[in-house]
Structure 1
Amino acid sequence: MIRTGRSLTLGCLLLLSPLLSAAGGNSLLIPATARCTLNTLPEELPDALRACQQAASQGDLQAAYELGEFHYDGRRAPRDLNKALHWFEQASLKGHALAQHRLGTMFFRGEGVPASNVQAYILLKMSAVNGAEEALDTADRVSAQMRRDELEIAVQVLGQIFRNYLMDLQTVENPR
């Protein structure tokens, strides 16, 4: 089975992303504590967006998630799935559970990306590990529509992610 495009790239980035970047070295449980606010008066929105983009560009995962939501929902500005996808990916790759959930849902629905049950399932399971319990229900809906070979691929990728995580954790606990 040949996989190309954004779904393969995101899957590879999930496998290759630094695993011990935050939360005391536990990359699977990364808290999102920073925040930016885009719920302002219309005349203040451009400044709020700039501030939020700056925070997100400096690694604020919650700011990246909120920018993704801003562009995804289309309530305060025209909906822009490409920008939403960009910001959700930024937060997702660093373990932001809600960004992973939204991104998984986008892959499931084919919103701004080609639909991919495999990618959706992987992201939703990672989201659940990172604390978004509702992602388990969404992952169950995805798995109910997956072919057996798709589910096997997703489970293999998740297994590799966790094996890499455990190996990195052992290295940190038992440095040579």
Structure 2
Amino acid sequence: MIRTGRNLTLGCLLLVSPLLASAGENTLLVPAPSSCTLDSPPDALPAALMRCEQAAQNGDLQAEYELGEFYYEGKRTPRDLQKALHWLEQASLRGHPDAQHRLGLMFYRGEGVQANNVQAYIVLKMAAVNGSEEALDSADLVAEQMSRDELGIATQVLGQIFRNYLMELQALEGRSPFAPLP
């Protein structure tokens, strides 16, 4: 893995950050995986897809990610970037590192969305925070394409997101937001 030596700035979604607040969950923690699998034989795929969609609609994080990948890859169904984007965003908002990595690359490449390096960088940094080592390298590649102003905006947004997160953590523990962490 390539590391540039610059400080790792942690982050989240730029344009979707209002949805983070409505998620009502700790957006930095990754819940346990699900049992949704879409590698069924062709004749069983429709039923497996229906079960996976139901699980995703019921909030199964791994099912959301797997549906996003299923529609993104388009190997067993026609590629559908809008459905992929929907499910990957859902999983990303809840901290799935692989979904965040894929979503960041979609923003970078303009796949299903307008290309946006600032948003790509932020989402990729979030994926790195949640454990995707590949996202660190991807964020470095995106940063090479960004202007100084774009990097400044992304850093400012990331800083604000994590200040808010720190305050949320401290409030949950009944401590002052200005108290030092243990």
TM-score if structure 2 supplies the norm length? 0.85
Cα contact 1:72–1:80 (8 A) shared by 2: yes
* Counterparts of residues 14-29 of structure 1 (less than 5 Å): 14=20, 16-18=21-23, 21=25, 27-29=27-29
C-alpha displacement at 1:12, in angstroms? 3.2
Post-superposition CA distance 1:126-158 (Å, at most 9, x none): 001011111000000000100111111111111
Unaligned stretches of 5+ residues in structure 1: 1-6
Instruction: Identify if the C-alpha distance between structure 1 residues 90 and 103 changes in structure 2 by more than 3 Å, giving closer, same or farther.
Output: same
The residue correspondences of 1:27-38 to structure 2 (distance < 5 A) are 27-38=27-38
Q: Any idea what SS the aligned residue of 1:35 has?
A: coil
Who is 2:76 aligned against? 76
Q: Between Structure 1 and Structure 2, how many residues are aligned?
A: 164
User: Relative to structure 1, is the Cα distance of residues 47 and 105 closer, same or farther in structure 2, using a 3 angstrom cutoff?
Assistant: same
Q: d(CA) in 2 for partners of 1:35 and 1:149? A: 43
- The residue type paired with residue 171 of structure 1 is A
Question: Is 1:133 matched with 2:133?
Answer: yes
Report sequence identity in percent: 66
Map of 1:1-176 to 2, 5 A cutoff?
9-14=15-20, 16-18=21-23, 21=25, 27-174=27-174
2:28–2:95 contact (8 Å) kept in structure 1: yes
Contact 1:11 1:119 in 2 (8 A): no
Q: Is the 8 A contact 2:14 2:122 kept in 1?
A: no
Does the residue aligned with 2:95 lie in a helix, a strand or coil?
coil
Match of 1:95, SS? coil
After superposing on structure 2, the runs of 4+ consecutive aligned residues of structure 1 that deviate more than 6 Å are none
Please state how far the C-alpha of 1:18 moved relative to its aligned partner.
4.3
Shift of 1:75: 0.5
Per the TM alignment, residue 37 of structure 1 is displaced from its structure 2 partner at its CA by 0.6
As a proportion of its length, which structure holds more helix? Answer: 1
Q: d(CA) in 1 for partners of 2:56 and 2:23?
A: 18
Q: Which amino acid aligns with 1:62?
A: Q
